[in-house]
Amino acid sequence: MTTNPLTSICVYCGSSPGNDPDYLDSGRILGRAIGEAGLRLVYGGGTKGIMGAVADGTIEAGGKVIGIIPRFLMNKEATEKALGVLDELVVTEDMHERKHRMFEEADAFVTLPGGIGTLEEVIEIMTWAQLGRHTKPIVLANINGFWDPLSMLIDHMRDAGFIHTGHRVQPLVVNSAQEIVPAILAAREHGEGDEKIIERM
């Protein structure tokens, strides 16, 4: 089967900058890489923290950006700035609608550092992969080892016998923002993300 073209990358990340300046820098670098590759950014619609950095980087590189945000977060994560800068801002009624729309709009998923909300988003997308609902590439942007504990937990659950379709729950672990888009493109070129298994880097 022919691999569908990669057109959009969904990025999950914190609406805060975090304590390590490399997190914010990585967001901006990833955004620029998405824009320079002619891809569209799908993200949570916020203009603050790492979220804002990814969007700014994509826009600066001439890329398209669609923000998807639930109505109740408009005043917390987004500002009027987003309405005039993003190519499209979709306001949903709740978090469930937001996550489903982000999934539909994206061909791959990248998780930068973030908090509980970011963790919940990537866990759900991995759960859907485990259940066979999709085979889109999933990347953990392991900036300065941020996602090491999650990788260890996944390995622990697999070893303990609770991930019975473990071949479907092996996100690409990429240690630098510059390597993320090339890693996704390479995975797609080899048919991974459609029918084949995504192998951990």
Please say whether the beta carbons of 10 and 105 come within 8 A: yes
CA angle 170, 176, 180 (to 5 degrees): 60
What's the pLDDT score for residue 51? 95
Tell which residue, 134, 136, 126, 132, has the closest CA to residue 170.
126
Residue 3 pLDDT: 55
Looking at residue 81, what is its pLDDT?
62
Separation of alpha carbons 165 and 83, rounded Å: 42
What per-residue confidence (pLDDT) applies to 57?
97
Residues 169, 135 contacting (CB under 8 angstroms):
no
Residue 196 confidence (pLDDT)? 33
What single-letter amino acid sits at 38? G
Per-residue burial over 166-183, b if 16 or more Cβ lie within 10 Å, else e, is: bebbbbbbbbebebbbeb
Residue bearing tokens 């914190």? 14
Q: For residue 138, how many other CB atoms are within 10 A of its CB? A: 26
Cα distance between residue 60 and residue 63, in whole Å: 7
pLDDT at residue 166 in the model: 60
**pLDDT value of position 188:** 78
Question: In tens digits, what is the pLDDT along the chain, a chain of 201 residues?
Answer: 345 689 999 999 999 999 999 999 999 999 999 999 999 999 999 889 999 999 999 999 999 999 999 988 887 766 666 666 788 999 999 999 999 999 999 999 999 999 999 999 999 999 999 888 898 999 999 999 999 999 999 989 989 988 877 667 778 999 999 999 999 998 877 655 433 333 332
**CATH of the domain spanning 8-189:** 3.40.50.450
Alpha-helical runs (H) found in the chain? 21-36, 49-60, 74-77, 80-85, 95-105, 116-130, 148-159, 180-189
Return the residue matching tokens 């609608």: 97
pLDDT score at 105: 97
Give the pLDDT score at 1: 37
pTM over 0.85: yes
pLDDT at 74: 81
